[in-house]
Structure 1
Amino acid sequence: MFRILTVCTGNICRSPLAAHLLQSKLGHERIDVQSAGVGALEGAPMPDPAQDIAARLGLIWYADHQGKQISSQDAVTADLILALDRGHRRRIVELHPPAVRYTYTLTEFAHIASNMPESDLSEILQRADSAEHGALEAVSRSRGVVPPLESPDALDIADPYRRPIEVYEQSSAQIVTAVDSIVAYFNHTARLHKDLLAEPRRNGH
Structure 2
Amino acid sequence: MFKHVLIVCIGNICRSPTAEFLLRHRLKDRDIRVSSAGLSAAVGHPMEDNAMRILKERGIDAADHRARQLSPSMLREADLVLVMEREHLAAASRMAPESSGKLFLLDKWREAEDVPDPYRRTRQVFDHVYDMIERGVDSWIRYL
Q: TM-score scaled to structure 2, two decimals?
A: 0.93
Q: How does 1:124-135 map to 2 (within 5 A)?
A: none
Structure 1 residue matching 2:63: 3-state secondary structure: helix
Match status 1:95 vs 2:95: yes
Residues 158, 170 of structure 1: 8 Å contact kept: no
Residues 9, 37 of structure 1: 8 Å contact kept: yes
Gap runs ≥5 in structure 2 = none
Match status 1:53 vs 2:54: yes
CA distance in 2, matches of 1:43, 1:49: 18
Q: CA deviation at 1:165?
A: 1.4
- CA deviation digits over 1:10-46, x for unaligned, max 9? 0000001101111111123421100000000001111
CA distance in 2, matches of 1:73, 1:185: 24
Gap runs ≥5 in structure 1 = 112-148, 187-205
Q: Which amino acid aligns with 1:84?
A: M
CA distance in 2, matches of 1:30, 1:24: 12
Q: Which residue of 2 aligns with 1:180?
A: 138
- CA deviation digits over 1:88-133, x for unaligned, max 9? 111110100011101001001x33xxxxxxxxxxxxxxxxxxxxxx
Considering Cα pairs closer than 8 Å and 6+ residues apart, tell me whether 1 or 2 has the greater RCO: 2
Q: Which amino acid aligns with 1:51?
A: M
Q: Which amino acid aligns with 1:173?
A: D
Structure 1 residue matching 2:92: 3-state secondary structure: helix
Runs (4+) off by over 3 Å: none
Q: Which residue of 2 aligns with 1:3?
A: 4
Aligned residues: 143
Structure 2 residue matching 1:44: 3-state secondary structure: coil
Structure with bigger gyration radius: 1
Q: How does 1:64-83 map to 2 (within 5 A)?
A: 64-83=64-83
Q: Which amino acid aligns with 1:91?
A: A
Q: Which amino acid aligns with 1:158?
A: P
- CA deviation digits over 1:60-98, x for unaligned, max 9? 1x2121110001110110110000111111111010001
Q: TM-score scaled to structure 1, two decimals?
A: 0.66
Residues 18, 52 of structure 2: 8 Å contact kept: no
Q: CA deviation at 1:155?
A: 2.2
Q: Which amino acid aligns with 2:58?
A: L
Structure 1 residue matching 2:34: 3-state secondary structure: strand
Q: How does 1:56-205 map to 2 (within 5 A)?
A: 56-60=57-61, 62-108=62-108, 110-111=109-110, 149=111, 154-186=112-144
- CA deviation digits over 1:114-162, x for unaligned, max 9? xxxxxxxxxxxxxxxxxxxxxxxxxxxxxxxxxxx4xxxx521010000
Q: Which residue of 2 aligns with 1:22?
A: 23
